[in-house]
Chains A and B, each alone.
Chain A
Amino acid sequence: METLVQQVLDGLMIGAAYALMATGLTIIFGLMDVVNFAHGEFYMLAAFLLFQLSAVMGVPYFVALPVAVLSVGALGVVVQRTLVRRLRGGSRLNYLYATSIATIGLSIVLQNGAQLVWGAVPKSIPQPFPTEPILLAGVALSPVRLFILLTSIVVIAVLGIGLMRTLAGRMVRATFQDREAAALIGLPVDRIDALAFGGGTMLAALAGVLLGSAFQVYPTMGGLATLKAFTVVILGGMGSFPGAIAGGFLLGVSESMAAGYISAGLKDAIGFAVVVAVLMIRPTGLLPAVRRLR
């Protein structure tokens, strides 16, 4: 029983990070129709920046963490302005290929660039949390994991409220639903794109600094993360925020269960198997977006 609770909690922690990643991917995909293959590299880069700031330069953890996330978000804006934006024009299919190649190229650059700067050996981020677990109703909770889970939930909640209640949020949602109509009524869709790309990469970055604090940081960590985020997005239903969040937690918990009860080696396969199953039964995902995608 205790191990079960432990596994569910572990799953929720990882799932929270997946949900962050997937929400970021959904924003970028939903607004710009870009399948961002460099998403995991932004996640990796943020973790390395946190490592650099806190472990190498001695910046306090709670200062370094937002700096790392914001810097990667700024990089996201730059990428949108200088690269993604220029690929519009031509057919929809060409745009899909062009953005895929561009983000794949970017991911190669970032991944190998990180390897040049920080080397291939996994790094650990020193973090300020006590190592003794907190005992709560017989369940041992490691403080760092609790921090990850709570931070993710708070960020997701703030993001949700922001999207629903603020003007910027409403503008993003309007563009999300119908780009042409949004442009017609005078919304600055181009600037909204930049904001959204930055925001989306910041969510990946946040997942990166959080998981990087609990696990290790290495240049290739983004590859699998991108794939996982894709899985979550398709599980939840492409273009759906509630789906991305639910899908994230679902994948996290099912992976953790699979690792505990089936085999640790199968952990990474489980998500993709679930995706294939979901696609056969419900091709639009669990909580599909209302928007028609083609």
Chain B
Amino acid sequence: MSARVRISLGLAVATGAAAALFIVDDAYLMRIATLGAIFAILALGLNLTAGHLGLFDFGYILYFGIGGYTTALLTLRAGWSWEAALVASVLMSVAVGLLVGVVVLRLRGPYFVIATFSFLTVAYYVAINWKEVTNGPLGLIGLPAPAFNLPAIGRVEALDPAGALAIALTGLLIAVAVVWRVVESGAGRAWHAIRDNEDLAASVGIDATAYAFLALAVSAGLGGLGGSIYAGYVGIVTPEIFAFGHMVNVLLMVVIGGTGTFLGPIVGAFLVETVPELLRVAESFRLPIFGLLLIAAILFAPQGVVSLRPWRALRAGRPRVPPVPPVEEGPA
């Protein structure tokens, strides 16, 4: 119930912000918002494993890259439409996620962190060196920009800032819906049980491996969705799509926003996309300041910004909610 309230609150804020963006119609702001929306999809995906299941997938960007490359190859080499390539990208990412899962889901804690990270790094070097397919470091260039005619709205094109934002927000909406329903389906409760005490979860019949695979599959699929939209938006896919920097950013979004919460990753995504932009005035001190802000954030809001007091007060007025941080959504 409280999850539903929180979701609708989030949607209201998001709708308001999006409407404001479309009205102001500033290309620069729209670009930041578009990237924010795309990365919010990824943050939602990473949060399924890192926040709900409790396994720190430090190679998550792998699925972003798989989605990007699948889309690029299918549109450029096979002449598929972007929409069809997007569906294929999601499926491909899920498949890769399940394969990776076979190896990494035997591991826990820091082992899991480094193992998933190793997969990401291998993918990065494969993308650089498998030139016949990936065109090496130069990457795949000139993806056709997504464009379609919609009945009521007219033509939506990714080349147009407003069109790109609309596409990214649609993707985010899909991601929110999927995450919301999966977490509410009973899988969320099983994940939380596994996260909080895996042995206890097993002792009452929860199949940790099966639920971990489910989390990994959905999270990989969202990564593929984000990667496909990103590829369509920027029109180029290079090995840098697997870059460590992307991984760090998505992780920051989830942890700074609040692991295991609904709104946290989305709030975190827009924060992490926006703050460095705001810091541009600091010129060359921009990144050091950003680093210090991260340290401050983790010292002062270790549960994420959505756990901070104003939010907590807001929540206190609501019925049937645990008195302490909403690390998980309440009963439906």
Interface residues of A (CB under 8 A from B): 29, 33, 35, 83, 86-87, 90-94, 96-98, 100-102, 104-113, 115-116, 223, 227, 230-231, 233-234, 238, 263, 265-266, 268-269, 272-273, 275-276, 279-280, 283-284, 293-294
Q: Give the chain A neighbours of B80 by CB distance below 8 A.
A: none
* 16 A-B pairs (CB sep. < 8 Å): A35-B110, A91-B196, A93-B56, A93-B259, A96-B113, A104-B248, A104-B252, A107-B291, A110-B291, A116-B285, A227-B117, A230-B114, A265-B128, A272-B122, A293-B109, A294-B109
Q: Is the CB of A93 within 8 A of B110?
A: no
The CA of A109 and the CA of B173, in the complex, are separated in Å by 35
Q: Is the CB of A283 within 8 A of B111?
A: yes
Chain A: CB-nearest residue to B121: A272
Determine the main DSSP class of B at the interface with A: helix
Q: Is the CB of A263 within 8 A of B129?
A: yes
Q: Is the CB of A105 within 8 A of B298?
A: yes
Given contacts A90-B302, A276-B119, contact A283 B109 (CB under 8 A): no
Q: Is the CB of A101 within 8 A of B129?
A: no
Chain B: CB-nearest residue to A270: B125
Q: Is the CB of A35 within 8 A of B113?
A: yes
Chain A: CB-nearest residue to B285: A116
Q: Is the CB of B291 within 8 A of A293?
A: no
Additional 5 contacts, C-beta under 8 A, given A233-B114, A276-B122, A283-B111: A87-B302, A98-B302, A100-B56, A102-B294, A238-B110
The one of A98, A280, A294 in contact with B103, judged by C-beta atoms closer than 8 angstroms, is A280
**B18 shortest CB reach to chain A, Å:** 29
**B245 shortest CB reach to chain A, Å:** 9
Q: Is the CB of A102 within 8 A of B298?
A: yes
The CA of A280 and the CA of B303, in the complex, are separated in Å by 34
**B191 shortest CB reach to chain A, Å:** 12
Q: Give the chain A neighbours of B129 by CB distance below 8 A.
A: 263, 265-266, 269
The CA of A139 and the CA of B284, in the complex, are separated in Å by 47
**A203 shortest CB reach to chain B, Å:** 19
The one of B107, B291, B302, B303 in contact with A283, judged by C-beta atoms closer than 8 angstroms, is B107
Q: Is the CB of A108 within 8 A of B290?
A: yes
**A92 shortest CB reach to chain B, Å:** 8
The CA of A265 and the CA of B126, in the complex, are separated in Å by 11
- Count how many chain B residues have C-beta atoms less than 8 Å from C-beta atoms of the other chain: 48
The one of B108, B288, B298, B299 in contact with A116, judged by C-beta atoms closer than 8 angstroms, is B288
Q: Give the chain A neighbours of B125 by CB distance below 8 A.
A: 266, 268-269, 272-273
Q: Is the CB of B290 within 8 A of A87?
A: no
The reply to whether the CB of B295 lies closer than 8 angstroms to some CB of chain A is yes
The CA of A8 and the CA of B56, in the complex, are separated in Å by 36
Q: Is the CB of B54 within 8 A of A108?
A: no
Given contacts A29-B110, A113-B288, A294-B108, contact A276 B118 (CB under 8 A): yes
List residues 232-259 of chain B with CB under 8 A from any CB of chain A. Answer: 244, 248, 251-252, 255-256, 259
Chain A: CB-nearest residue to B196: A91
Q: Is the CB of A100 within 8 A of B251?
A: yes
Chain B: CB-nearest residue to A90: B302
Q: Is the CB of B303 within 8 A of A279?
A: no
The one of A92, A94, A109 in contact with B288, judged by C-beta atoms closer than 8 angstroms, is A109
The reply to whether the CB of B174 lies closer than 8 angstroms to some CB of chain A is no
The CA of A24 and the CA of B101, in the complex, are separated in Å by 30
List residues 103-156 of chain B with CB under 8 A from any CB of chain A. Answer: 103-104, 106-111, 113-115, 117-119, 121-122, 124-126, 128-129
Q: Give the chain B neighbours of A96 by CB distance below 8 A.
A: 56, 109-110, 113
Q: Give the chain B neighbours of A116 by CB distance below 8 A.
A: 284-285, 288
The reply to whether the CB of B204 lies closer than 8 angstroms to some CB of chain A is no
The CA of A233 and the CA of B110, in the complex, are separated in Å by 11
Chain B: CB-nearest residue to A99: B298
The one of B107, B255, B285 in contact with A101, judged by C-beta atoms closer than 8 angstroms, is B255
What 1/0 mask marks residues of chain B from 265 to 292 whose CB sits below 8 Å from any chain A CB? 0000000000000000000110110111
**B164 shortest CB reach to chain A, Å:** 28
The CA of A110 and the CA of B293, in the complex, are separated in Å by 13
Q: Is the CB of A94 within 8 A of B119?
A: no
The CA of A109 and the CA of B287, in the complex, are separated in Å by 7
The CA of A116 and the CA of B282, in the complex, are separated in Å by 13
Given contacts A238-B110, A272-B122, contact A279 B115 (CB under 8 A): yes
Q: Give the chain A neighbours of B287 by CB distance below 8 A.
A: 108, 111-112
Q: Give the chain A neighbours of B244 by CB distance below 8 A.
A: 223, 227
Q: Is the CB of A106 within 8 A of B295?
A: yes
Chain A: CB-nearest residue to B102: A280
Q: Is the CB of B298 within 8 A of A234?
A: no
The reply to whether the CB of B94 lies closer than 8 angstroms to some CB of chain A is no
Given contacts A97-B259, A101-B251, A116-B285, contact A269 B126 (CB under 8 A): yes
Q: Give the chain A neighbours of B195 by CB distance below 8 A.
A: 93
**B169 shortest CB reach to chain A, Å:** 27
What 1/0 mask marks residues of chain B from 300 to 314 whose CB sits below 8 Å from any chain A CB? 001100000000000
